[in-house]
Amino acid sequence: MTPVLTPTLEKQDTLSVPDLVAERDLTRRDLELIFQLAAQVKASPGSFAQALQGKQLALIFEKPSLRTRVTFEVGMTSMGGYAIYLDHTKPRLGERESIKDIARNLERWVHGIVARTFAHASVLELAEHASIPVINALTDLLHPCQGLADFFTLGEKFGRLRGLKLAFVGDGNNVCHSLLITGAKLGVSVNVATPPGFEPKAEIVEDAKSFARKSGAKVQLFNDAPAAVAGVQAVYTDVWASMGQEYATHLRAQVFPSFRITEELMAAADPGAVFMHCLPAHRGQEVTNAVIDSPQSVVFDQAENRLHVQKALLLLLLMQNGRV
């Protein structure tokens, strides 16, 4: 039986890029297409049950994962495909064999690569040398799959994206970078509140401001959490020390307490504001139990939507690649 897509996904419904390496490469139409297809997949998963029959996906992970690994594996198998997990925690990608050679081997066996790496350059190199789609599943610079799922979730909750305001409070890390770029492209204003010296990378901020000028959004940096949160529709945080920064946990625990998300801080946001976190959460550190377990919290909606958004990405990228 030849696998077919649901009739609502037409041949012209393809992304403008062959890979998902960085959000800055996606057009506004790309983002809308991903969200539209994710909504279809979520509403009618059975319609896509055989869409990726015969397709194989390689998962390369240098870092631990719960949500990303499970959702990509479930996404592939629920659409008739198969996922192969490659543990690269030891040795790291490129240590035993060059990344170029890994890419050229994998392209002969599978239809796509999902890579979670420390260095962003590793994903770029995979995409450069593989003739099959490569999806960035998190690097030290960006976390595009998370950002896409986050804004899909906001669209569900508010019925719109353009004109919303989101505050990211904590470390200016990879998740923060993805929220800045994707939000700016979608017309969502993003405030970032960090302790001095922990701001997002300047080049990411400049890119986001450039996209924001085109979409009508604003990008602002703060060193004061209440000022950043005032009047926003979404308050977002992440762990204070990302994977690979565990050595700095003790120091950051002394620097970040005034950036903890509490009920008092949430009260400064819009009355209908939601709380967001990419997970895993260090309860009692960056967020209190009262907030993460409150009715305002949409953290598990975000986690669920990782599945639907990534299924949309797999459909769009693997089907448009044209390999049999």
- Active site members: 116, 143, 146, 238, 278, 306
Q: Which of 2, 5, 25 is nearest to 15 (CA)?
A: 25
Q: Which of 229, 221, 241, 226 is nearest to 275 (CA)?
A: 229
Distance of alpha carbon 61 from alpha carbon 43, whole angstroms: 30
Contacts of 39 (CB under 8 A, 6+ apart): 152, 308
Q: Which of 318, 319, 307, 324 is nearest to 145 (CA)?
A: 307
Distance of alpha carbon 258 from alpha carbon 99, whole angstroms: 42
Dmax (CA) for the chain in angstroms is 60
Distance of alpha carbon 67 from alpha carbon 44, whole angstroms: 21
Structure tokens at 13: 């419904």
Q: Which residue in this structure is represented by tokens 């492209």?
A: 185
Q: Judge contact between 186 and 28, C-beta under 8 A.
A: yes
Burial of 226 (0-12, 13-18, 19+ CB in 10 A): middle
Q: Judge contact between 147 and 24, C-beta under 8 A.
A: no
Give the CA radius of gyration of the chain: 19
Q: Judge contact between 275 and 122, C-beta under 8 A.
A: no
